[in-house]
Structure 1
């Protein structure tokens, strides 16, 4: 997402000025998506209610929100100069709608992000398989931290609340991303603004939807959550995608025209 460094910038980033190959870009997106899913879903699975909070080891919703914001910030700094650091199909769609990413490259990015996310949950399933007896089965019975409504909403919210939160939260997220990475953006501080935005919207959304804003993450958790998680998956794809497209087209209309 951060802009490509120019020759006017410090020599420490000059090595990233050459255009990476398509394979390198897709690999960066895959690794970034893996990193997000593995760490954030891992935090939710292993430490949100660890031993029911005994010994102050329960990080709660705040811990998951911070994990998401921190890892996305790190991912953008690491992979932004290579692939754009999207790591999320909603971000890729938002950039394409804003005219800042080629539509022809969207399928490849989304495929890489989805594969990376699925590999992340697969690795977590491997960890759970080596835990206490029944740990993996219990995680699957509870939905494997899938986003959704009803039984997958920590607060017991319905489908209407789900769509409102996931659509608006993703739209706000993309609005910030497009603004801070644009011509009048925040430069090297852009990843920090993006990460902090994620922390805030996740703290609000997790109690309602389990907080996705990321179709690849939702696919990855639903594959292991099964049953109801798979039945509700369509909404975890449609709502974030809708929010991203709204933000992207709005940004292109309201801000990019003026910038040109």
Structure 2
């Protein structure tokens, strides 16, 4: 059979296509299986942790201590200042309008102090409150002693201010009838906390009606426990913290009215220390009871609070002392690969 040629005489190309050359790596000339196109990998986002950034989330320790000193100073100044002259005017701190005036003075002062600087330090102004806040998980234990120290100093400064401003002839005038205090220290001793013959009821009855040491301890433990318990409750995040200062102030006023006939109402070791500072010797001899009992009451309230509020919740305004420290913020940034 002759091969067809073109008019030019060259061989006509064969219409049958040439077989495909096998691709490298394949055994057969043509891969009969369909080959899927390679899928491009989706971008992967990997979190990248930046170095920790220290941010100032609240007040420094110095600022917190300053706030506690101011608040305790204000509380003791208002309470003792009103009590001193209410006792002179109404003849007995534990009776009549004098008792109401003293209770309101302490209550309004603690409410004002809490509203003013509570967001700085927690607004304790009371060693028993600070102890309760530490046990309840509101305040770090490392702040306990510094808080106690400035609270005592603030109370001492306030007591000094009240004592040095007493008119020199006031005690003599009050004792002109033969029944009043004969010295300025004796007059100031009416502010001190006491039991037995030195309780307000014992003084008013000339020792015929007295509250024993046991009764005084029980009263102070109970009223302080109630006070600290109310503070922990109203400053919880689940409570309305806007009215916390008012509730705390009213609670303190009521509890002072309860305890005043028995012990002259301590509820606060810093207040008791301040009043004893310029009082007669008996006030120093009985001071231990008004340190131990309020601290025991504050601890009792905190233990009960922790048992019924587990885990303890930090409060926003007065007990959230942790917010006053520098914290580390971890910034997470998403970046594509």
3-state SS, counterpart of residue 151 of structure 1? coil
Give the drift of 1:186.
2.3
Q: Match of 2:128?
A: 90
Structure with greater strand percent: 2
Structure-2 change in CA distance of 1:190 and 1:51 (3 Å): closer
**How far apart are 1:257 and its partner, in Å?**
2.9
Which aligned segments of 4 or more residues in structure 1 are displaced greater than 4 angstroms? Answer: 133-137
Match of 2:262 among 203, 208, 214: 208
1:189 matched to which residue of 2?
Answer: 243
Distance 1:199 1:61 in 2: 10
| TM-score, with structure 1 as normaliser | 0.86
- 1:249 and 1:201 map into 2 onto residues whose CA distance is 20
Q: 1:240 aligns with which of 294, 301, 310?
A: 294
1:150 aligns with 2:178: no
Superposition deviation, residue 250 in structure 1: 1.3
Q: Is the 8 A contact 2:136 2:312 kept in 1?
A: no
3-state SS of paired residue (1:48):
helix
Let me know the Cα RMSD of the aligned residues.
Answer: 2.2
Q: Where does the alignment leave 5 or more consecutive residues of structure 1 unmatched?
A: 1-16
Matches within 5 A, 1:108-123: 108-123=146-161
User: The residue matched to 1:246 in structure 2 has which SS?
Assistant: helix
1:33 aligns with 2:72: yes
Which of 23, 38, 44 in structure 1 is aligned with 2:83?
44
2:304 match: 250
Match of 2:185 in 1: 140
Cα contact 1:166–1:212 (8 A) shared by 2: yes
Change (3 A) 1:217 1:41: same
1:81-140, Cα deviation, whole Å (9 max, x unpaired): 111110110110010011111011010001000000000110011111555365896342
Do the aligned residues in 2 keep the contact of 1:94 with 1:244 (CA within 8 Å)?
yes
More helix by share: 1
Superimposed CA distance per residue, residues 144-203 of structure 1 (whole angstroms, 9 cap, x where no aligned partner)? 411120233111211111011100000000110000001222211011111111111111
Between 216-225 and 109-118, the greater mean CA deviation after superposition: 216-225
Is the 8 Å Cα contact of residues 144 and 224 (structure 1) preserved in structure 2? no
Cα distance in structure 2, aligned partners of 1:72 and 1:199: 10
Work out whether residues 48 and 59 of structure 1, in 8 Å CA contact, stay in contact via their aligned partners in 2: no
In 1, the alpha carbon distance for the partners of 2:186 and 2:215 equals 23
Q: Paired residues, what number?
A: 240
Q: Secondary structure at the match of 1:47?
A: helix
The answer (yes or no) to whether the contact 2:306–2:312 under 8 Å persists in 1 is no
